[in-house]
């Protein structure tokens, strides 16, 4: 699956996934103004435009990333496993099922 930020400075490719999960934790609500609707993509995500990715250590176990040009939320990543959770709206394909 392919996706990108609003301005197109960052692109990514992820293994195929079909389910969207929702996180309602305080960090996710503060980050995006509501629940995070994201696709669990695993650790095999590839990015281009890395020079435009800003990373924030939001906890001891995870980090969040955004495009430094347009501010698009790019991912939530678990540090222990390297698994990425990418906002569903950032993908070109929108054929998802709610988990």
CB-hemisphere CA count at 13 Å for 38? 23
What does the alpha-carbon distance between residue 79 and residue 84 come to, in Å, rounded to a whole number? 9
Query: What's residue 99's pLDDT?
Result: 59
Q: What CATH number should be reported for the domain whose range is 2-91?
A: 2.170.150.70
Torsion sign across C-alpha atoms 60, 38, 18, 7 = negative
Range 51-78 average pLDDT: 96
pLDDT band at 28 (very low <50, low <70, confident <90, very high): confident
> pTM (2 decimals)?
0.88
pLDDT band at 19 (very low <50, low <70, confident <90, very high): confident
* Contact criterion met (CB below 8 Å) for 20 and 39: yes
């Amino acid at each position: 699956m392919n996706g990108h930020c609003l301005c197109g400075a960052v692109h990514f490719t992820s293994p195929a996934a079909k389910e969207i999960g929702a996180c309602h934790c305080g960090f996710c609500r503060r980050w995006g103004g509501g629940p995070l609707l994201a696709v669990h993509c695993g650790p095999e995500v590839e990015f281009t435009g890395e020079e435009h990715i800003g990373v924030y250590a939001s906890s001891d176990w995870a980090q969040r990333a955004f495009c430094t040009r347009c501010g698009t939320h790019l991912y939530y990543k678990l540090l222990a496993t390297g698994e990425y959770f990418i906002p569903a709206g950032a993908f070109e394909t929108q054929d998802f099922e709610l988990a």
